[in-house]
Amino acid sequence: MGIRADEVPFVRAYDVRHLSHFNYHDEAPMWWGFWGIILIETTVFATLIASYYYLNLSYPEIPPAGVKKPDLLLGTISSLVLLSSSYPMHKADSASEKGDITTLKWGLLVCIALASLFLVLKVYEYSQVEYRWDSHAYGSILWGIVIFHSVHVTSLVLKTIFISYLAWRGFFNKERHLGVTINGIYWHFVVLVWVPLYLVLYWSPRLF
Amino acid sequence: MRIRGKSISSTVATIVGAILVLFLTSCEHAGFQSTLNPKSTQAAEIAFLWWVMLGVFTVVLLAVTLLVAAAVLRRYDGKPGELTEPQKRNMVLIGGVIIPVVVIFVFVIYSVSVGRYTASVPHDAPITIEIVGHQWWWDVRYRVTGRPLNVRTANEIHVPVGVPVRFVLESRDVIHSFWMPNFQGKTDLIPGRRNFTWVTATEPGVFRGQCAEFCGLQHAKMAFVVVASPEDEFYAWLERQAQPARAPVTAAQIRGREVFETTSCTLCHTIRGTQALAEVAPDLTHIGSRQTLAAGSLPNTRGHLAGWLANPQQIKPGSRMPNLYLKNDELDALIEYLSSLE
Amino acid sequence: MENPERETINAPEHNRFYSAEEVEDVAELDRTWASPPGILGWFMTVNHTNIGRRYVVTAFTFFLIAGVLGLLMRTQLMQPEMKLLNPDLYNQIFTMHGITMMFLFAVPVMEGLATYIVPLMLGTRDMAFPRLNAFGYYVYLLGGITLYVALFMGLAPDAGWFNYPPLSNQEFSPGMRVDIYAMLITFIEIAALVAAVELIVTIFKQRAPGMSLNRMPLFVWSILVTAFMIIFAMPVVMVASMFLAFDRNVGTHFYEALSPAGQGPLLWQHLFWFFGHPEVYIIFIPALGMISSIVTTFARRPVYGYTALVLSIVGTGFLGFALWVHHMYTTGLPQLGLSFFTAASAMIAIPAGVQIFCWIATLWGGRPQFKTPLLFVLGFFFIFVLGGLTGVMIASVPFDAQVHDTYFIVAHFHYVLIGGAVFPLFGGLYYWFPKFAGRMLSETAGKWSFALMFIGFNVSFFPMHNLGLMGMPRRVYTYIEGLGWNDLNLMATVGAYVLAVGILISLINVIYSALYGRESGPNPWDADTLEWACPSPPPNYNFSPMPAVDGLHPMWDMKERGERPIVTGVRTDMRQVLTTTLMDARPHALSNLARPSIAPLLLTGAVGLGFIGFLFSIYWLILSFFLAFFAIVYWNYPRHDERTPPWQKEGENGD
Ligand code: HEA
Ligand code: HEA
Ligand code: CUA
Ligand SMILES: [Cu+2]
C-alpha cells in the first residue's frame, strides 16, 4: 500500500496572499477563454471561405455567368462604417483602464450606433440583390456568409448594449473592467474578420 | 497474481497461427466475389500487394507483441533487468523511427506504383461500358468502336478476356460505388460527376459484384453479375443483345405481352420492339437471358420471377418497383412472356 | 535533491512543517465549495468532480446502449437472410450505433474523464469556467436523450454516421430523420467545444505553482492536444451540418449535384472528413495519456522518453489534419493528390511507433505489477498495433479501392477504436475508480472481464478482415447464401456476445464495488501524480492546502523528501483558485470562480429549444437566439455581493 498522503508533513512553498484577484489580461482565465472562442470562430469563418471557393470551382468564373457581383460601392461603404467602429471601442476600452468612465459610456454608445448602421446598410444592400440563397449554390454561400456575419454583429450589438447598461449604472471602475476588455477583443475580432470576407466576396470575383 | 511466461508466448503463437490459418483458408474459400481470387491484371496486382503487406506487417506485429511480452515477463531473479539508457534510446529510435521510415518508404513507392497502374484508364480502349447507378439497380450500356450497336441491359456486365475494357460511371440519384472484387477496386458513381475505371480480365468465368457505397434502404441488394468470356463469345453475346425483343409465339406469350403493354410496366421499363420505351427501370429486352433478378439478389428462375412480379416489396422492401396486383392469369401470361425474352 | 525553484519561494519560514488546520479553515472551505442541496441544487451544481462524474456515467450508459445496438446488428448478420431487423430499422440502428459511439460515447467520455482528472492532476480546486462546464454537460445530455427519443419514435437518422448527400438530401431522405442528425450533431458539438476551451484555459492557467509545461503529466498533455484538435475540427462539422440543414429546410444548394463537376456532394465529404479524421485522433489521443499514466504507475518508474512522447502526441495532432482525403480514395480524385495522402497517412506510423516503443522501454525491467489496468494496456498493445497496421495498409490507394466500405474497414476501425480507446479507457476506469469512489474494484472480476473482452473482441472482429477481402460490403442489412461468408459472420457474432459478457462483468464489478469494495485510501497504487494527493473520493474543494510541485512525479518526490510543498493564502470564504503563468507556472493572480447557478440549465433550454425547434420551424431558431441572449445576461449579471465584496466591507483590502 502506498504511503498515505496525509501522513507527509506540509512545507510552505508559496504564499499568494498578496496577489490581485482583479485580472485584466492574460492573468484572467476569461481573457484566455475568449481567445478560445475567437479560435473557434476563426475556424468557422475559414471553413466558410474554403467552401465558397470550393463550390465556385465548378463555375468557370465567380459568380456564375449571368449573376451580378455584389455591389462594390454599398459593400465598401458599409465595411468602412464597421471598420471605423473599432476606434471608439478602442478608446472606450483604454478609457476604462484609466478609470475615465464618461468616455467609456459614450464610446460604447457610438460603437452601438455604428454597428447598427452597418446592419441597416447590409439589409438595404441585400434587399437590392435579385437572387437569394435558394437561387443557386453561389447565392447559398454568399448569403450564408453575409447572414452569418451579420448575426455576429447583431449579437455584438446586444452584448454591448448590456455592457453599456452596466457602464451607465456605474458598475465599471478602474479595477473592474474585464467585461469591457473582453467585449472589446470580441468586437475587434468581429470587425476584423469582416475584412477577409469583404475581400473574398467583393474583390476576388473582380480580380480573378 | 503472476502470469507465467510460457502461457503468454504460447498464447501469442496461437493467435498468430490463427491469423495465418484464417487468411489462408479464406483464400481457399475465395470465390466469385472475392479480392483474393483475382481474375484481372488489376486485381492481381492489388492482391499481390496485399500478400506482401500481410507478410511484412505480420512480422511487425509479431515483433512488437514479443517485445511487450519480453518486457513484462522477464525473470528478475536477482539479475538486473534494466536496459541501459542508450539501449532504451536505440530501441525507440530503431523500432519507432528507423524501421517505420524504411518500411513506409518502400510501402509508399510500391503502393503508388500499383496505384498508377490500376488507375491508368485507357481512354482509347475499343470497348466502353457505361454504367449508371440507380436506387437499387445498375443500368448498363455498351459502346464498341466501329460497331454501331445499341445494347442496353441491367445488372449484368459482360467483359471479354484479355482486352482492356473502359467503364464510365455515373449516377442519377445518390452516390453508389461500383465494385467487382475479382477484377478491380471500387470507384464511386457520383451524381454530377463522371468517373472512370478499367479492367483486363484474365480468365473466363461468372462472378459477382456489389454496390459498396451506402445508398439507402436496399443498398444490400444492389448487386450484379459479371461474366468474363472469350472475345468471340463476348461479341456474339453483344450481337444477340443488340437485337430487338423476340416476338411472342405462343398464345400465353402473346397474352403476356398484352398484359405488359397495358399495365403500368411500360411507365418504367423498356422492351425494344414494343411500345415500352421508358428508361426509369431496367431494360427487359433480353430479361430471359439474364442470370439474376432484382439486381443480383435472386436466381432468374420462373419461381422467383413469379414471386418478384407478385410481390416485389416483400422481396426487396422499398424497391422502386411497386406491387402490381396482377390477377393470377395475368401473372402467368406475363411470366411466360418475360421468360421467353432470351 | 536540488531544487532551483526554492529560491522563488517567498515565505520566510518555509522550512517549518505545517498542520492542515494551521493553513486553512477546512470547515469554511467545505461550506464555500459545497453544492446547493435538493433537486434544484442538483441542477445548479458546477463542481468539476460532479460534472465529470456525470459525464462519465452518462457516456458509459450510451456505450452500453450503442453496444446493445451492435449486438442487434451482429444478431441480424449471424446468418444469411435473417429476418430479425427489417432494412429500415437496420439502417437506423447502424447509424445510431456509429453516432452514439463517436459523438455520445467516445468523445464525451474522454472529456468527462479529463474534466474529473485534469484539475486534480493540476492541483487546483475547479476548472476555469465551472458554469460553462455544467452547460456543456446539459447540452450533451439533452442532445443524447433527444436522439434516443427519436429512435424510439422511429425517427432516428438512417444515412450512416457520415451521412453523405445526396442520400441525405430532402429528396432521398424526406422526413425528419436527417434533420435530427444535422441539428443534433451541431448541438452536441457545442458541448465538445465548451469542454475544449475550458480544458485549455484550465491547463494553461491553473497548474499548481512549479508545474512548468515540462512537468505536466502526459495525460494532461494529451488532453491539451485533444482540446486543440476539437477546436479546429468540430466547427467544421458544425458548419457542414448547418449547410445540410439549410439545404433540407430553406432550399439552399450547398450539396446539390447540379454543377458540372459535382462539387456539392464532394464538398460535404471534404468538410466531414476534415473533421472526421481528426475526430478519431480526438478519441485516441487521450488514451495515450491514460496509457502513459498506467504504465508509469505499474512499472513503478518514470515513463521513458517524456519529451519524445510529448512531441509524438503533438505531432500526431498536427498530422491528423492532413489525412482526411484517405477516406475519399474512391471518389475519383486525381491520383497525384491521393499519393500525398498515402504518404501522410503512413507517416503517422512514426509517432505511433515512438509511443509504443517508449512504453515498452519503460516496462522493460520495471518489474511490472499485473493489476487489471496494466492488463488492459497490454491488450491495447496487441489490438491497437494490429489495427494501426491495417490502417497503414488501407492508406494505400489501390488496396483501399478494394477494401474501402467493406468489413475490412469495419475491422480496422474497431481494432483501433476498441483497442486504442476502449481498452485503455477500461484500464483507466480500473485505475481511477478508487479515486472516484474511494473503493477498489475487484481484481478477480477485472481479470475475468479483461480475458473475456480480449478473446471476445478478437474472435468478433478479426474475421471481419477476411469478410471484407472476400467481398462483403459494410452497411448491408443482410447477405445472400453461397458467398462463403456464413461461418465468419457467425464467428463474429459469437465473439460479440463473449465481448458483451466481459463488459457485463465489469459493469457488475463497478456497481458492486462502489457499494461494497475495499476502501482504497488516497493513493492505492502508489502512483506519482497529484490526483492521488487528495482523499478518495475528493472533497468538494479537492485539496486543502493547495499543493505546489517541483518535479514531474510529485507524489514520489514527496515520499522521498518527507515533505510536501504547499501554497498558502488562497481565500477559503469564496471559490478562489490560483492562476499561474503559462510557461513555468509561477503564481500570477487569484481568480474567483463562479458559484453554483441555474443559468447553465436555462441557457441549455434556450439553445436546445432553437435546435430542436428548428426541426419544426426556423422561427424557433430565431426565438432561441434572443432567449439565449437573456440567459447569458442572467448568467453574467453581477450579483450584488460581487459588486461590493463582503471582505471589503469588513475593511480588509481586497487587492
Ligand atoms: C481511434 C481511432 C483510429 C485510429 C487511431 C486510426 C489510425 C489510423 N487509421 Fe483509421 N479509421 C478510423 C479510426 C482510427 N484510425 C475510423 C473510425 C475509420 C472509418 C470511418 C468510417 O468510414 O466510418 C478509419 C478509416 C481509415 C481509413 C479509410 C478507410 C476507408 O474508408 O476506406 C484509412 C485510410 O488510410 C485509415 C488509416 C489509418 C492510419 C494510417 C492510422 C494510423 O494512425 C495508425 C498508426 C499506428 C501504427 C502503424 C501501429 C504502431 C506503430 C508501430 C508498431 C511502428 C511500426 C510500424 C510500421 C513499420 C508501419 N483509417
Ligand atoms: C468507439 C466506437 C465503437 C465501438 C466501441 C463499437 C463497438 C461495437 N461495434 Fe461498432 N461501429 C462504430 C463504432 C464503434 N463500434 C462506428 C463508428 C461504426 C460505423 C457506423 C456507420 O457505418 O455509420 C460501427 C459499425 C459497426 C458495424 C458495421 C455495421 C454495418 O456496416 O452494417 C458492426 C457490425 O458488426 C459493429 C459492431 C460492433 C460491436 C459488436 C461492438 C461491441 O464492441 C459492442 C460491445 C458492447 C456491448 C455489447 C454492450 C455490453 C453491455 C451489456 C450487454 C450490458 C447491457 C446492460 C444494460 C444496458 C443494463 N459496429
Ligand atoms: Cu447503391 Cu449502395
Ligand atoms: Cu482517417
Residues with CB under 6 A from ligand 3: B 133, 136, 176, 211, 213-215, 219, 222
What three-state secondary structure class fits B79?
coil
* Residue B123: Cβ within 10 Å count: 10
Q: From A3, A199, A16, A175, select the one nearest A98 (Cα to Cα).
A: A175
Checking if the pLDDT of C573 tops 70, the result is yes
Judge whether B154 and B137 are in contact, CB under 8 Å: yes
- Of A7-21, B206-220, C55-69, minimum mean pLDDT range: A7-21
Distance C388 CA to ligand 1 centre (A): 5
**What's the pLDDT tens digit per position in B29-59?**
558 899 999 999 999 999 999 999 999 999 9
* Residue A31: Cβ within 10 Å count: 18
Checking if the pLDDT of A22 tops 70, the result is no
CA-nearest residue for atom 47, ligand 2, is: C67
> Which chain B residues are closer than 8 Å to C385 by Cβ?
60-61, 64-65
- Among the partner-chain residues C8, C271, C566, the one whose CB lies closest to the CB of A47 is C271
Per-residue pLDDT at C386: 96
C291 CB less than 6 Å from ligand 1? no
- Of B273-282, C148-157, C600-609, minimum mean pLDDT range: B273-282
Location of C-alpha cell 517541483: C550
Query: How does residue B122 score in pLDDT terms, banded at 50, 70 and 90?
Result: very high
Could A14 and C254 be called an inter-chain contact, meaning their C-beta atoms sit closer than 8 Å? no
Phi, psi of C564 (to 5 degrees): -130, 115
How far is the C-alpha of B37 from the C-alpha of B183, rounded, in Å?
9
Location of C-alpha cell 469583404: A198
Query: How does residue C58 score in pLDDT terms, banded at 50, 70 and 90?
Result: very high
How far is the C-alpha of C79 from the C-alpha of B261, rounded, in Å?
40
Q: Which helix (H) or strand (E) holds B99?
A: helix B99-118
How confident is the model over B251-262, as a mean pLDDT? 87
Query: Least CA distance to C132: which residue of chain A?
Result: A33
Could B95 and C360 be called an inter-chain contact, meaning their C-beta atoms sit closer than 8 Å? yes
How confident is the model over B178-193, as a mean pLDDT? 94
How far is the C-alpha of B244 from the C-alpha of B272, rounded, in Å?
5
Write the CB contacts of C307 (distance below 8 Å, at least 6 apart in sequence): C214
- DSSP-derived secondary structure letter, A132: -
Best of A7, A8, A12, A135 to mutate (most C CBs within 10 Å, chain C)? A12
How far is the C-alpha of C548 from the C-alpha of C586, rounded, in Å?
10
Residue C174, judged by CB atoms within 10 A of its CB (0-12, 13-18, 19+), counts as: exposed
- Of A128-132, C323-327, C472-476, minimum mean pLDDT range: A128-132
Checking if the pLDDT of C646 tops 70, the result is no
Per-residue pLDDT at B24: 63
How far is the C-alpha of B182 from the C-alpha of C297, rounded, in Å?
51
How far is the C-alpha of A128 from the C-alpha of C80, rounded, in Å?
61
- Among the partner-chain residues C253, C534, C558, the one whose CB lies closest to the CB of A8 is C558
Query: Distance, in angstroms, between A174 CA and closest chain C CA?
Result: 12
Chain center to CA of A165 = 20
> Which chain A residues are closer than 8 Å to C234 by Cβ?
40
* Residue B148: Cβ within 10 Å count: 7
Query: Least CA distance to A58: which residue of chain C?
Result: C261
Judge whether C575 and C542 are in contact, CB under 8 Å: no
Per-residue pLDDT at B23: 66
Q: Which helix (H) or strand (E) holds B43?
A: helix B41-73
Checking if the pLDDT of C492 tops 50, the result is yes
C352 CB less than 6 Å from ligand 1? yes
C391 CB less than 6 Å from ligand 1? yes
Per-residue pLDDT at C37: 84
Amino acid of residue C221: W
**What's the pLDDT tens digit per position in A97-123?**
887 888 888 999 999 999 999 999 999
How confident is the model over A161-179, as a mean pLDDT? 82
Could C254 and A6 be called an inter-chain contact, meaning their C-beta atoms sit closer than 8 Å? no
How far is the C-alpha of A203 from the C-alpha of A72, rounded, in Å?
8
Query: Least CA distance to C473: which residue of chain B?
Result: B212
Query: Distance, in angstroms, between C210 CA and closest chain B CA?
Result: 27
C-alpha cell at A108: 460604447
Strand partners, B91: none
Judge whether B123 and B166 are in contact, CB under 8 Å: yes
C321 to chain A, any CB pair closer than 8 A? The answer is: no
- Give the number of residues written for chain C: 655
Name the residue of C95, C326, C339, C356 whose CB sits within 8 Å of the most ligand 1 atoms, as the mutation to test its pocket. C326
- DSSP-derived secondary structure letter, B36: T
Per-residue pLDDT at C324: 94
Query: Least CA distance to A9: which residue of chain C?
Result: C563
Distance C506 CA to ligand 1 centre (A): 28
Query: How does residue C6 score in pLDDT terms, banded at 50, 70 and 90?
Result: very low
Checking if the pLDDT of B330 tops 90, the result is no
ipTM for the complex?
A: 0.93
Query: Distance, in angstroms, between C104 CA and closest chain A CA?
Result: 21
* Residue A73: Cβ within 10 Å count: 9
- Ligand 4 ion local residues (Cβ < 5 A): C 277
How far is the C-alpha of B83 from the C-alpha of A189, rounded, in Å?
54
Residue C484, judged by CB atoms within 10 A of its CB (0-12, 13-18, 19+), counts as: buried
Judge whether C282 and C231 are in contact, CB under 8 Å: no
How confident is the model over A48-53, as a mean pLDDT? 93
Best of A14, A67, A147, A173 to mutate (most C CBs within 10 Å, chain C)? A14
Strand partners, B298: B293
How confident is the model over C417-433, as a mean pLDDT? 96
Query: How does residue C648 score in pLDDT terms, banded at 50, 70 and 90?
Result: very low
Query: How does residue B15 score in pLDDT terms, banded at 50, 70 and 90?
Result: low
**What's the pLDDT tens digit per position in C312-368?**
999 999 999 999 999 999 998 888 889 999 999 999 999 999 999 999 999 987 778
How far is the C-alpha of C543 from the C-alpha of A149, rounded, in Å?
44
Chain center to CA of B123 = 22
Location of C-alpha cell 390477377: B327
How far is the C-alpha of B293 from the C-alpha of B287, rounded, in Å?
9
Is it true that the peptide bond before A9 is cis, omega within 30 degrees of 0? Answer: no
Query: How does residue C643 score in pLDDT terms, banded at 50, 70 and 90?
Result: very low
How far is the C-alpha of C570 from the C-alpha of C125, rounded, in Å?
11
Checking if the pLDDT of C23 tops 90, the result is no
Query: Distance, in angstroms, between C124 CA and closest chain A CA?
Result: 13
* Cβ contacts of B263-267, under 8 Å, gap ≥ 24: B263/B324, B263/B326, B263/B330, B264/B322, B264/B324, B265/B324
- Of B194-198, B333-337, C144-148, minimum mean pLDDT range: B333-337
B-C CB pairs within 8 A amount to: 290
Sign of CA dihedral A52, A55, A57, A62: negative
- Position with higher pLDDT, C328 vs B317: C328
How far is the C-alpha of C117 from the C-alpha of C594, rounded, in Å?
20
C99 CB less than 6 Å from ligand 1? no
* Closest ligand 3 atom to C475 CA: 2
How confident is the model over B296-311, as a mean pLDDT? 86
Beta strands in C6-69 (DSSP E): 17-18
Could C243 and A51 be called an inter-chain contact, meaning their C-beta atoms sit closer than 8 Å? yes
- Among the partner-chain residues B29, B65, B76, the one whose CB lies closest to the CB of C484 is B29
- Among the partner-chain residues A4, A9, A141, the one whose CB lies closest to the CB of C17 is A9
- Among the partner-chain residues A44, A55, A59, the one whose CB lies closest to the CB of C235 is A44
b/e map of C430-456 (b: 16 or more CB within 10 Å)? bbbbbbbbbbbbbbebbbbbbebbbbb
Neighbours, chain B (3 or more CB pairs < 8 A): C
How confident is the model over C204-222, as a mean pLDDT? 94
Checking if the pLDDT of A47 tops 80, the result is yes
How confident is the model over A14-22, as a mean pLDDT? 78
How far is the C-alpha of C384 from the C-alpha of C283, rounded, in Å?
13
C31 to chain A, any CB pair closer than 8 A? The answer is: no
Judge whether C254 and C244 are in contact, CB under 8 Å: yes
Distance A45 CA to ligand 4 centre (A): 24
Mean per-residue pLDDT of chain C: 89
Q: What percent of chain C has pLDDT over 90?
A: 69
> Which chain B residues are closer than 8 Å to C397 by Cβ?
111-112, 115, 119
Distance B211 CA to ligand 3 centre (A): 4
- Among the partner-chain residues A16, A32, A51, the one whose CB lies closest to the CB of C205 is A32
Checking if the pLDDT of C230 tops 90, the result is yes
C-alpha cell at C97: 450505433
- DSSP-derived secondary structure letter, C637: P
How far is the C-alpha of B173 from the C-alpha of C259, rounded, in Å?
14
Per-residue pLDDT at B10: 63
> Which whole-number Å values give the CA distances from C204 to A203, C407, C580, in the listed order?
40, 42, 8
Query: How does residue C642 score in pLDDT terms, banded at 50, 70 and 90?
Result: very low
Location of C-alpha cell 467583393: A202
How far is the C-alpha of A90 from the C-alpha of A80, rounded, in Å?
16
- Of A55-69, B69-83, C410-424, minimum mean pLDDT range: B69-83
Query: Distance, in angstroms, between C316 CA and closest chain B CA?
Result: 14
Per-residue pLDDT at A206: 82
How confident is the model over A74-97, as a mean pLDDT? 90
Checking if the pLDDT of B244 tops 90, the result is no
Judge whether A58 and C259 are in contact, CB under 8 Å: yes
B297 to chain C, any CB pair closer than 8 A? The answer is: yes
Query: How does residue B75 score in pLDDT terms, banded at 50, 70 and 90?
Result: low
Per-residue pLDDT at B66: 93
C622 to chain A, any CB pair closer than 8 A? The answer is: no
Distance B177 CA to ligand 3 centre (A): 6
End-to-end CA, chain B:
73
Could C201 and A14 be called an inter-chain contact, meaning their C-beta atoms sit closer than 8 Å? no
- Rounded to 5°, the CA angle B131-B137-B142 comes to 30
- Give the number of residues written for chain A: 208
C-alpha cell at A130: 435579385
Mean per-residue pLDDT of chain B: 87
Amino acid of residue C125: R
* Closest ligand 3 atom to B189 CA: 1
- Position with higher pLDDT, B82 vs B276: B276
Q: From B36, A4, B5, select the one nearest C522 (Cα to Cα).
A: A4
Checking if the pLDDT of B223 tops 90, the result is yes
Best of C392, C448, C464, C477 to mutate (most B CBs within 10 Å, chain B)? C392
How far is the C-alpha of C575 from the C-alpha of A170, rounded, in Å?
25
Closest listed ligand to the CA of C359: 1
* Residue C58: Cβ within 10 Å count: 20
Checking if the pLDDT of C24 tops 90, the result is no
Q: What percent of chain C has pLDDT over 70?
A: 93
State pTM to two decimals.
0.93
* Closest ligand 3 atom to B174 CA: 1
CA-nearest residue for atom 1, ligand 3, is: B176
* Closest ligand 2 atom to C74 CA: 35
Angle between helices B41-73 and C349-363 in degrees, nearest 10: 20
Per-residue pLDDT at C98: 96
C-alpha cell at A166: 452596466
What three-state secondary structure class fits B298?
strand
Could B174 and C167 be called an inter-chain contact, meaning their C-beta atoms sit closer than 8 Å? yes
Query: How does residue C258 score in pLDDT terms, banded at 50, 70 and 90?
Result: low
How far is the C-alpha of C459 from the C-alpha of C482, rounded, in Å?
22
C353 CB less than 6 Å from ligand 1? yes
Distance B296 CA to ligand 3 centre (A): 12
Angle between helices C599-613 and C619-636 in degrees, nearest 10: 170
Checking if the pLDDT of B2 tops 80, the result is no
C550 to chain A, any CB pair closer than 8 A? The answer is: yes
Write the CB contacts of C612 (distance below 8 Å, at least 6 apart in sequence): C146, C183, C620
Query: How does residue B127 score in pLDDT terms, banded at 50, 70 and 90?
Result: very high
